[in-house]
Amino acid sequence: MEILFITGNAGKFSEAKKILKHFGLNIVQRDSLIEEIRSDSIEEIASASAQAAYAEFGKPLFVEDSGLFIPFLNGFPGAYSAWVFRKVGNVGILALAKGKEAEFRTCVAYADGKEVKLFTGSVKGRIAEEARGKGGFGYDPIFMPEKTPGINHSGEKTFAEAPEMKDALSHRKRALEKLGAYLKR
Ligand code: ITT
């Protein structure tokens, strides 16, 4: 089964391709020029983008909206993560929230013309003291996931230092596994 993943982010796409392959799903990347709505809610953004994309492509597809949520900053940058990353990057987040608790969240929205289904995933951790590692993308060099039962990692490495650890427990993996199971049912 071929499904479109509408995204302009190559890092997201390559992670999603690997995750969904385990479900026998082949995904194809397409970019859309439709502008995202502005909202504090990644669920609202993903849902609106999926509907707009279905109107454009007319095929089963999904979109994904993600964000880094820092409780000390009242959830900032949250649904504004892409904009904040472009403006101030990891240096800006380190200046504001070094060592603080953080959470990555993803909302995947799947549209097939009949319905829009949402699948969420999250991972808790904290912001490192400095950017470390070369893997991944975006905020990966400054995010250290907390220890997770059944997954062998120290809790001290960033996603960018240990991409295989990211593959095993990321917010994206958790959300896309739900999509995979839904499509396989
Ligand atoms: P789309 O075309 O899919 O919208 P985007 O990069 O604009 O791509 P988002 O709107 O979901 O994606 O923005 C989330 C931002 O948060 C993104 O630009 C990254 O900088 C960051 N981000 C999302 N997932 C991440 C991850 O797994 N690791 C590190 N940073 C991530």
Question: Domains (ranges, CATH) in the chain?
Answer: 2-184 (3.90.950.10)
Say what the pLDDT of residue 174 is. Answer: 97
Say what the pLDDT of residue 1 is. Answer: 73
Say what the pLDDT of residue 111 is. Answer: 98
Structure tokens at 108: 């995947």
Atom 15 (ligand 1) nearest CA: 82
**Longest pairwise C-alpha distance within the chain:** 46
How many angstroms does the Cα of residue 55 sit away from the middle of ligand 1?
23
Q: For residue 65, indicate whether it is catalytic.
A: yes
Q: Give the bridge partners for 64, in sequence order.
A: 108
Q: Collapsing DSSP states into helix, strand and coil, what is residue 96?
A: helix
Say what the pLDDT of residue 185 is. Answer: 85
Say what the pLDDT of residue 80 is. Answer: 98
Can you tell me the distance from the alpha carbon of 57 to that of 59, in angstroms, rounded to the nearest whole number?
Answer: 6
pLDDT tens series, the chain, 185 aa: 789 999 999 999 999 999 999 999 999 999 998 899 999 999 999 999 999 999 999 999 999 999 999 999 999 999 999 999 999 999 999 999 999 999 999 999 999 999 999 999 999 999 999 999 999 999 999 999 999 888 878 888 999 999 999 999 999 999 999 999 999 88
Say what the pLDDT of residue 77 is. Answer: 98
DSSP E strand boundaries for the chain? 2-6, 26-30, 61-69, 101-111, 116-127, 143-145
How many angstroms does the Cα of residue 152 sit away from the middle of ligand 1?
26
Atom 22 (ligand 1) nearest CA: 138
Which residue out of 31, 40, 65, 140 is catalytically annotated?
65
Which of 108, 57, 103 is closest to 81 using CA atoms?
103
CB 58 within 8 A of CB 50: no
